[in-house]
Amino acid sequence: MRFTKMHGLGNDYIYVNCFEEEIADPVELAQVVSDRHFGIGSDGLILIGPSEKADVRMRIFNADGSEAEMCGNGIRCVAKYAFEHKLAEGKGPFTVPGQPACPISLNIETGSGVLAVGLIIDNNNKVQRVCVNMGQPVLAAGDIPVNLPLKEVIEQPMQFLNHALVMTCVSMGNPHAVFFCDEVGSIELEKFGPVIEKQRIFPNRTNVHFVQVDGPAEFTMRTWERGSGITLACGTGACACCVAAVVTGRTERVCTAHLPGGDLDLNWCEEDNCVYMTGPAVEVFEGVWPEE
């Protein structure tokens, strides 16, 4: 099986071109290839295949084998791969209200619907950055889902591990729990992350983010990703944190998220209520995984 390792801000996945490869058991394969000691090493597995609705389809499997609806860093890499490996011809242009247009666009089918992306290319026709229309955020508790007797979970006091925390929940096609704090570096993420992820109030589990607001247009975040653990970046999570920061009056709609792996530019656009995320996509290497 031929594969390509790619990352978005260090959020790394193994990508397989399913136009050419056939994967019998992606759940098992994700667990094996993701192992950082005995496999290739990654946060999970992403399959790129044909779509009846879009240019290509992506399926995301976390390091534990669970399938995710959406991955913000992953979709940028899928866009780069599909364009550079000629799986799809670019359309264009891709426009964002208040921002310069991207000259080339693609549509990608995900577990949370078809998303449009814009490609920013260099003089060698290589994709350097990708802007993704991540869609409209979901704040209704029942749709995230969060099993609490509330219409929306915004600045809700909670108790986890005998600690008082204040939680805001958002879905960006997958569930996120956001906690604002004074210093993200002081949070024992490896302790709180797995406990919050698997709370019974989250029937589909949840991604967990601790966020430090640095100013009206920037914040620093750390992530415990559902099914993968601590990761260097989470694209959907950055979008969720942007929305949470805006609805709680902490930041403006256009802001920058500082993640351990780098920065993402975010815009929760008033015109269409969609969140636009712009960031890099990097191909690391190609290889062949031996047949069992």
Only one residue has tokens 């780098």, namely: 262
Cα dist. 97→75, 119, 240, 253, 273 in Å? 21, 16, 20, 13, 11
Question: Both 165 and 131 in a single domain?
Answer: no
Secondary structure class of 101 (helix, strand, coil):
coil
Backbone angles phi, psi at 286, to 5 degrees: -110, 155
Does the structure show a pLDDT above 70 at 144? Answer: yes
Question: Both 99 and 188 in a single domain?
Answer: no
Question: Both 47 and 129 in a single domain?
Answer: yes
Question: Taking residues 185-198, what's their average pLDDT?
Answer: 97
Q: How confident is the model at residue 292, as a pLDDT?
A: 65
Q: What percent of the chain has pLDDT over 90?
A: 93
Question: Both 261 and 147 in a single domain?
Answer: yes
Question: Both 10 and 120 in a single domain?
Answer: yes
Candidates 281, 265, 276; CA nearest to 78 is: 281
Element (H, E) at 215: strand 207-215
What are the start-end ranges of the H helices in 35-85? 72-84
Both tokens of 29, joined, read 């394969």
Question: Both 148 and 73 in a single domain?
Answer: no
Tell me what the pLDDT averaged over the chain comes to: 96
Only one residue has tokens 């009846």, namely: 52
Give me the CATH number covering residue 47: 3.10.310.10
Does the structure show a pLDDT above 70 at 111? Answer: yes
Cα dist. 276→72, 115, 265 in Å? 10, 11, 8
Distance CA 198, CA 226 (A): 9
Question: Both 67 and 175 in a single domain?
Answer: no
Question: Both 6 and 131 in a single domain?
Answer: yes
Q: Catalytic positions, please?
A: 71, 234
Q: How far apart are the first and last CA of the chain?
A: 10
Structural domain of 13: 2-135+279-288
Both tokens of 126, joined, read 């290589």
Write out pLDDT tens, residues 221-235.
999 999 999 999 999
Question: Both 123 and 152 in a single domain?
Answer: no
Question: Both 267 and 197 in a single domain?
Answer: yes
Cβ atoms of 146 and 126 closer than 8 Å: no
What domain count does the chain have?
2
Distance CA 248, CA 204 (A): 25
Question: Both 147 and 247 in a single domain?
Answer: yes
Query: pTM of the entire structure?
Result: 0.93
Distance CA 187, CA 178 (A): 13
Is the preceding omega at residue 93 within 30 degrees of 0, hence cis? yes
Q: What percent of the chain has pLDDT over 70?
A: 100
Candidates 231, 161, 170; CA nearest to 196 is: 161
Is the preceding omega at residue 100 within 30 degrees of 0, hence cis? no
Distance CA 157, CA 166 (A): 4
Question: What is the DSSP secondary structure assignment for residue 217, as one 8-state letter?
Answer: T
Question: Both 122 and 174 in a single domain?
Answer: no
Does the structure show a pLDDT above 90 at 214? Answer: yes
Does the structure show a pLDDT above 70 at 250? Answer: yes
